[in-house]
Structure 1
Amino acid sequence: MILLVPADSLRPRRVDDHFAAEAEAARALGIDVALVDHDRLARRGGAEEAVRRVHAEGVAVYRGWMVRSERYAEFAGALRRRNIVLCTTPEQYRRAHEMPGWYAELSALTPRSVWTIGTARPEFDRALQRLGAGPAVLRDYSKSMKHYWNDAAFIPETGDGAAAWRVANRFRELRGADLTGGFVLRTYEPFVSAEIRTWWIGGRCHLIGPHPDSPQDTPPPDFDAAVAQQPIRDLGLPFVTADFALRAGGTWRLIELGDGQVSDRPRTIPPETLVEALRDGFAPVSPAGAASVDQ
């Protein structure tokens, strides 16, 4: 396995500080580590230059900053021309990274959701009607702005179209060019716990820990990831994270699924723990086998 990590933008021969501990853990385990220029990767057409320092060959796992699905596809193509196959194909990355890709299989575990294609007002108004009356939470296909809860995330009543549109406009303003796909409206559910982040490799839960936003909140011992075992396995995705929170009334609910390559690790999970899980989880995969996956 090769671990691909972002280079420091000011010191391109060094690992970005945010991922340095994982890179060090990988090297200690005998795993090749290669640097990727994230700034170039994030630009259209920049993938070839972004991977010019990558020389190893084989199957790779990326652990880095979030990139759009289109840029990930360019990334995979540039690496493939260097005889490197990402563990997650572009199609798999999009399914995990963008909510419409995973919602159908996991809809029983997560708040009811509808979405638009694009950000036009008529589409947004139709989505409000489809969701139905009541409070809702707004996001796009890949990210929310929950840290701007009252301004750009929470809609107290979907029936008030003008007020809902003000929230949507603020969300669109804050996301800017990073806005992905369109608006997603989710039925608001009250939660009574901090989020739990679970890590899945090959459809099996390898790690359960806190969410990066609340790294000191240890998951309660009664949390059982088995509730999501079969639906996540059915997605057929090689490396994902799934975040859960306890709903008022005592049911664990899925908040988010994400591609594990671009999901943050809370500092309370040792980097060795995650890297060892990746090494063990992808150990049976060979370059020839990975290359046979439809890309």
Structure 2
Amino acid sequence: MIAVGRIGAYNNYATQYAELLRQGIRLVHTPQEHVRASQLPGWYTLIKDLTPRSKWYTEIPTVAQIQSEFDWPVFIKGVRQKSRHQRKLSIIESAADYQQMQERYQIDSILGWQSLVVQEYLPLRLVEDTQTDRIPSSYEFRTFWWYGVCWHGVLLVGRSEI
């Protein structure tokens, strides 16, 4: 029997994979496949022509490094994910904002363990922008593919699933 489920992010997928395997449960993705699928460096080259220009850093880059590669504003995230859609940690308008973000990034429980990713900021089709502390909601499409078949597709509008 195969069961498909969605689980949250693991800080250490390899450890969880090994523990479940000891219990007789084999996750679909090996730890190596998980890294390739869930972290930007693993899949970026496959779709770089279809996604915002991105660069990841093993150490938090300086303002000068960012400015040599990108124009303001930029979009910041971890190599794996964002931190609860916090605007001040994601949409960085200026060098001064970036300097403030650097300190918060390092102590954030979700971002602090991840390599930092800088992406070209592309304005999206907004649905709402009423909460100034979080990233504005925009149209977002997600699909789940299994062996070449799309099993589930959703249009997320704001925080609602259609």
Q: Structure 1 residues 195, 166: CA separation in 2 closer, same or farther (over 3 Å shift)?
A: same
1:186/1:86 CA distance change after superposition, 3 Å? same
Structure 1 partner of 2:7:
64
Q: Which structure 1 segments of 5+ residues have no match?
A: 4-60, 219-295
Cα drift, residue 144 of structure 1: 1.4
Aligned-partner residue type, residue 91 of structure 2? F
Provide, for residues 97-150 of structure 1, a one-character-per-residue CA deviation record: whole Å limited to 9, x for no partner.
21111111111111001111033xxx344640453223101111111136321x
C-alpha displacement of 1:182: 1.5
Identity, % of aligned positions: 27
Q: Is residue 154 of structure 1 aligned with residue 99 of structure 2?
A: no
Counterpart residue number, 1:144? 82
What is the rounded CA distance, in whole Å, between the counterparts of 2:66 and 2:14 in structure 1? 32
**1:81–1:146: structure 2 CA closer, same or farther, 3 Å change rule?**
closer
So what's the TM-score if we normalise by structure 2?
Answer: 0.77
Name the CA shift for 1:62/1:215 in 2 (closer, same or farther; >3 Å).
Answer: same
Q: Which amino acid aligns with 1:65?
A: G
Q: Retained in 1: the 8 A contact 2:57–2:115? A: yes
**Change in CA separation of 1:205 and 1:62 when aligned onto 2, cut-off 3 Å:** closer
Structure number with higher helix proportion: 1
Using the size of structure 1 for normalisation, the TM-score is: 0.45
Partner Cα distance (1:178, 1:163) in 2: 17
| 2:53 corresponds to 1:112 | yes
Q: What is the alpha-carbon distance in structure 2 between the residues aligned to residue 97 and residue 213 of structure 1?
A: 23
2-structure distance, mates of 1:75, 1:212 = 33
What is the aligned counterpart of 1:97 among 19, 30, 38?
38
Q: Assess if the C-alpha contact under 8 Å between 2:139 and 2:157 holds in 1.
A: no
Amino acid at match of 1:67: Y
**DSSP-derived class of the 2:105 partner:** helix
Tell me which structure has the larger Cα radius of gyration.
1
Q: Is the 8 A contact 2:144 2:150 kept in 1?
A: yes
Change (3 A) 1:186 1:84: same
In structure 2, the CA distance between the partners of 1:197 and 1:127, relative to structure 1 (3 Å rule), is: farther
After superposition, what is the alpha-carbon deviation per residue over 1:170-216, rounded to whole angstroms, capped at 9, x for unaligned? 2333x236534321111110111421221111243222113385224
1:165 aligns with 2:99: yes
Q: Which runs of 4+ in 1 moved over 4 A?
A: none
For 2:54, the aligned partner's letter is S
**C-alpha RMSD of matched pairs (Å):** 2.5
The AA in structure 2 aligned to 1:171 is Y
Determine if contact 1:139/1:183 at 8 Å carries over to the other structure: yes
Residue pairs, 1:262-273, within 5 angstroms: none
- Contact 1:137–1:185 (8 Å) recurs in 2: yes
1:82 is displaced (CA, Å) by 3.7
1:21-70 Cα distance to aligned partner (Å, 9 max, x none): xxxxxxxxxxxxxxxxxxxxxxxxxxxxxxxxxxxxxxxx45322212xx
Which residue matches 1:199? Answer: 144
